[in-house]
């Protein structure tokens, strides 16, 4: 599946690095997804990372996608990316001691 290959390419090498995942998220999401590029420089502080993560969750949440009439391929990408970001966030919180 082409979408799965795109997701794998995006994920490879940064599986648990929430900063890298968030700063490259614009490469995997589609135009009109509601996500805008966030540079790595803007993800230095824990509060910046948390804010970007929360924004990504809202952007990818199944209920929000339904409201916006997302296509099945977009829903698939969002579902996979949502889980990947959750796992990376859990690793970040555990590593950094940052409260979720």
Task: Indicate the pLDDT class of residue 99, thresholds 50, 70 and 90.
Answer: low
C-alpha angle 32-73-56 in degrees, rounded to nearest 5: 50
pLDDT of residue 12: 93
**39 vs 96: which has the higher pLDDT:** 39
Whether the predicted pLDDT of 100 surpasses 70: no
Chain mean pLDDT for the chain: 91
Residues 6+ apart with CB under 8 A from 54: none
pLDDT digits (tens, 9 = 90+) for 1-21: 688 999 999 999 999 999 999
Which of 1.20.120.450, 1.10.150.20, 1.10.287.110, 1.10.150.530 would CATH assign to domain 2-96? Answer: 1.10.287.110
| In the chain, where the domains are located | 2-96
């Amino acid at each position: 599946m082409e979408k799965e290959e795109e997701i794998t390419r995006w994920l490879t090498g940064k599986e648990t690095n929430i900063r890298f995942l968030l700063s490259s998220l614009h490469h995997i999401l589609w135009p009109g997804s509601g996500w805008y590029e966030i540079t790595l420089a803007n993800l230095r502080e824990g509060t910046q990372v948390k804010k970007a993560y929360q924004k990504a969750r809202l952007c990818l949440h199944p209920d929000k996608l339904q409201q916006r009439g997302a296509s099945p391929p977009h829903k698939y990408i969002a579902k996979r990316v949502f889980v990947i970001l959750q796992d990376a966030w859990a690793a970040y919180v555990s590593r950094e001691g940052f409260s979720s």
